[in-house]
Amino acid sequence: MNELVSGGNLPLPHGVLTVRVPGPFDVCALITDDGGTVRDDSDFVFFNQPSAPGARLADDTLTVDPAALRPGATRVTVVVSPTEPGTPLSRLPSPTLQVTGPAGHLARFTPPPAGEETALLLAEIYRRAGIWKLRALGQGYADGLAGLARDFGVDVVDDGARAQPVPGPPAIPAQRTAAHPRGQGGAEPLWLAPVNSARAQAGAPAVCLDARLTAAAQEHAAAMAAAGRLGVEGRDGVSVYQRLTRTGYAYVSVGEHLVSGPRTPQEFLASCLRTEQARRTLQDAGFVHAGLGQAHGDRGEVFWTALWARPLTPAELDRTETEVVALTNRERAAAGLPPLAADPPLTRAARAHSADMVARDFYAHTAPDGSRPWDRAAAAGAARRSIGENIACGQRSPAEVVTGWMNSPGHRANILKPDFTHIGIGFAGGGRAGTYWTQLFGG
């Protein structure tokens, strides 16, 4: 069975899929086309409407038959929320997605621990180039299932307990903010001074505007406006991180706010300061550059993208990779194992693989050319008898990526394997998921 991390994807076999999320959670599903918007209320599968063509919900289990979905459907997004309304996900164990196909278990995914979010995009089953795939997500919403559903085009009446879909065209929400902070050039001066004031209150240095971040933010805001919904990826399939990479800006860390609703830069800033996770991004002391984009949707909504970044330098790359090694060795020490020594050939191979995943837009141990971890290690000059590899994408820091690996049994086994004596770390910013990490072990 495949252990996925956030951003990881997996080709799916033909046939009916079973998706289960055990625990104190409500499961629901949103059926959409490539634009990411439901056609009508029948595309929202939840406890009070448990079936749609190709999808059926029973307790904690969702059954999906991709071939039987309604015409035009290309994506099924699996969502979880606490059974007890209003409970932050931080008070519950992390939900674990279990996916089974006709031949048995396919994949499992446990997202990183949540904060104050009350709804979570856990995964999506999607079609790309005629092939159905599973992608692990882990994106939270602080405004719960109602806010999440509206972002997919469902008009929701919140009765204080659970969201109910309402037929007809979606209403324009007063404000929608993705809890994972994800905002035109002319608005930037009105925005930057209060941003830096808010950063100063948190002891963070001022950020400077960067034309490349502004260009990428503006392009992504326009893409969201064209699609009529918030999203890390636009209707064109390009992520906000790929837009930034295309400007030539190389980063070691990146953050973003994707928001719709506020009408002015001041209102947008207020929305970014309203929730803890969004506020942490805005006040992150590591960021030195920022950019803001704004665009209007067909129904008059205002879509914002703010980008925050720290540029990649050789020193920053070394610092990041060294920290991953240190955190890895801390876990080994806690298990009574000797530390792993940094190995230059393994490092070259790991860096090359992370960069390759960004450049060729894939996420796998086997590269498009068929090369595998031991092939890449040998090509880089490594002379190790045994090779192991962990990969991850989307994590924002060394601590986050090592924690994610340690929470995954397969990745944890590599980190704590007694036979391994050496390690190489590769990091690359950019690509569809934003960050790509490789741990290459040798023994």
* DSSP per-residue string spanning 138-202: EEEETTHHHHHHHHTT-EEEE-SSSEEEESSSPP--S-EE-SS----GGGHHHHHHHHHHHHHHT
CA–CA distance, 35 with 32 (Å, rounded to integer): 7
CB 432 within 8 Å of CB 231? no
In one letter, which amino acid is 256?
A: E
The token duo for 144 is 């719960």
- Asked if the model's pLDDT at residue 199 lies above 90, the reply is yes
The token duo for 284 is 């992150």
> Hey, CA dihedral for 173, 179, 185, 191, is it positive or negative?
positive
CA–CA distance, 401 with 381 (Å, rounded to integer): 26
CA–CA distance, 23 with 94 (Å, rounded to integer): 9
The token duo for 207 is 């950020």
CB 199 within 8 Å of CB 206? yes
Nearest to 265 by CA among 217, 332, 231: 217
Mean pLDDT, the chain, as a whole number? Answer: 85
CA-CA-CA-CA dihedral for 331, 416, 20, 399, to nearest 10 = 30
- Asked if the model's pLDDT at residue 305 lies above 70, the reply is yes
CA 102, 106, 109 angle in degrees (round to 5)? 140
DSSP 102: T
Structure confidence at residue 187 (pLDDT): 58
CB 172 within 8 Å of CB 297? no
Structure confidence at residue 425 (pLDDT): 97
- Asked if the model's pLDDT at residue 163 lies above 80, the reply is no
437 phi, psi to nearest 5 deg: -125, 140
CA–CA distance, 424 with 438 (Å, rounded to integer): 8
The token duo for 400 is 């986050």
CA–CA distance, 195 with 203 (Å, rounded to integer): 13
Which of 11-15, 17-21, 182-186, 345-349 has the least mean pLDDT?
A: 182-186
Nearest to 429 by CA among 351, 367, 366, 368: 351
- Asked if the model's pLDDT at residue 138 lies above 60, the reply is yes
Report pLDDT digits (tens) over 31-66.
988 777 788 778 888 877 888 899 999 878 999 999
- Asked if the model's pLDDT at residue 115 lies above 50, the reply is yes
Which of 323-332, 367-376, 412-421 has the least mean pLDDT?
A: 367-376
- Residue 163: other Cβ atoms inside 10 A: 25
Structure confidence at residue 37 (pLDDT): 75
Give the contacts of 88 (CB within 8 A, at least 6 positions apart).
82, 114, 115, 116, 117, 118
Q: What is the mean pLDDT of residues 326-355?
A: 95
Structure confidence at residue 408 (pLDDT): 87
CB 387 within 8 Å of CB 377? yes
What proportion of the chain, given as a percentage, has pLDDT over 70? 89
Q: How many residues does the chain have?
A: 443
Which of 85-89, 269-273, 387-391, 436-440 has the least mean pLDDT?
A: 85-89
Report pLDDT digits (tens) over 65-113.
999 999 999 999 999 988 877 788 888 888 889 999 888 888 888 888 7
- DSSP result, 263-320: -SHHHHHHHHHHSHHHHHHHT-TT--EEEEEEEE-TTS-EEEEEEEEEE--HHHHHHH
How many C-alpha atoms does 336 have within 13 Å on its Cβ side?
0
What proportion of the chain, given as a percentage, has pLDDT over 90? 49
Q: If you compute the radius of gyration of the chain from its CA atoms, what whole number of angstroms results?
A: 22
In one letter, which amino acid is 427?
A: F
Structure confidence at residue 25 (pLDDT): 86
Q: What is the mean pLDDT of residues 419-425?
A: 96
The token duo for 69 is 């979905």
Find which of 114-128, 147-161, 405-419 is predicted with most confidence, using mean pLDDT.
Answer: 405-419
- Residue 38: other Cβ atoms inside 10 A: 22
Question: CA of 90: how far to CAs of 116, 144, 166, 278, in Å?
Answer: 6, 13, 29, 16
- Asked if the model's pLDDT at residue 147 lies above 70, the reply is no
Query: Which residues make beta-bridge pairs with 28?
Result: 79
Structure confidence at residue 161 (pLDDT): 35
Structure confidence at residue 150 (pLDDT): 61
DSSP 378: H
**Who has greater pLDDT, 340 or 183?**
340
Structure confidence at residue 116 (pLDDT): 75
The token duo for 233 is 């990826």
pLDDT band at 142 (very low <50, low <70, confident <90, very high): low
pLDDT band at 144 (very low <50, low <70, confident <90, very high): low
CA–CA distance, 29 with 44 (Å, rounded to integer): 6
Tell me the three state secondary structure of residue 324.
Answer: helix
CA–CA distance, 316 with 27 (Å, rounded to integer): 41
The token duo for 103 is 């031949």
Structure confidence at residue 183 (pLDDT): 32
CA–CA distance, 242 with 234 (Å, rounded to integer): 11
CA–CA distance, 403 with 193 (Å, rounded to integer): 36
